[in-house]
Amino acid sequence: MKAIKGLTIHKKLASYRSAFPHNDRTDVRNVTEIYNDVLEFSRPGLYSESVTRAAWELLLTRIGSGTTSQLIQALGRRPLVEVVAFLTTLTTSCMSDAERL
């Protein structure tokens, strides 16, 4: 059952790749739903590591491009505890990358 759920999530994330990249004034359909899903799947420990990694790849693409308006809006709709967890994970990831330089 877990494998089927993971496969379904991976397919959903793969379908979202076509929405990335986009600019801040996007006309991508269901962009709010996309960000809600991607943020949900990026939560460590709640989904398989491969799902979490795939979600973070999409998010880091947005952050790296500097077009983060939609992401910021999506984070603003999340509970504060989830935003803190997101920022903690992001910061930890960035620090790991900086240490490799």
Q: How many domains does the chain have?
A: 1
101 belongs to a structural domain: no
85 belongs to a structural domain: yes
Cβ atoms < 10 Å from Cβ of 61: 13
Angstrom distances, CA of residue 38 to CA of 57, 69, 95 = 10, 15, 22
100 belongs to a structural domain: no
C-alpha–C-alpha distance, residues 3 and 63, integer Å: 30
Q: What is the pLDDT along the chain (101 residues), one digit of tens a residue?
A: 566 777 899 899 998 888 776 666 667 788 889 999 999 999 989 999 999 999 999 999 889 888 899 999 999 999 999 999 999 999 988 777 656 65
Check residue 45 and give left, alpha or beta (phi > 0: left; psi -120 to 50: alpha): left
17 belongs to a structural domain: yes
47 belongs to a structural domain: yes
Domain assignment of residue 8, given as a range:
2-95
